Amino acid sequence: MIDDKSLLSTKNIPAAERLIFALDVPNAEEARDWAEKLGDSVRFYKMGLELFMASGYFELLDWLVRRDKKVFVDLKFFDVPETVRAAVRQLRNRGATFATVHGNDGILEAAVKDKEDLKVLAVTVLTSLDEQDLKDLGFQCDPQTLVLSRAKRALQIGCDGVVSSGLEAPALRQSLGEQLMIVVPGIRPVVNRETDDQKRVVDVDRAFLNGADYIVVGRPIRKSTAPRAVAESMQARIADLFAGR
């Protein structure tokens, strides 16, 4: 059976930049070691809260940018709107490509006001949450309904994209077309999927066939005995999927 490629992203993104490696490590020195180890097998890096709480976060960002790497600042800005606006304003000229914002319409509106070339991604529903978790939080709907609702609002407000599970990506792509960028975390191998804090997961092929523009991969590469080979294998599969696009 040939996989249906009707939802495959048509955005003009180099195939090698569609893989984002999550630098979920305790310090900047270890993050640099990973960037050196992975070399040209990875061109895009995500920097999250763990690194932010260590010293040298922005020095690392600058170091990556100087090496022609793209950077995804995943700090999920969530605060009163004016504070979020100020944070985006501080970040916009640092060379980062993406930044995540979490919150209601007022927070998202503030984030996009001064973003300039920085692309703002709205967080929809964390991939660590399932339907029962949402019910526990007071949401009386399934994850797909909530993700689609939040994504539509984010697009109307002026966000560049969303962070969403690959399970909801088809509904986003079918409903919103190519208007919105879809970044999918929670990528796991087809076999030997470990039990961890990610609940709504897909593998590399399924994420892109479901409509993802980018995937974020951490543990499957970081915990491998041959991380560069794993990254290169993923890049080869991505290149094959997008061949001719």
Catalytic residues: 76
Give the C-alpha separation, 89 to 62, whole Å.
Answer: 17
CB count, 10 Å around CB of 175?
A: 13
* Contact present, 212 and 201 (Cβ < 8 Å): no
What angle in degrees, to the nearest 10, is found between the helix axes of 81-91 and 105-113? 30
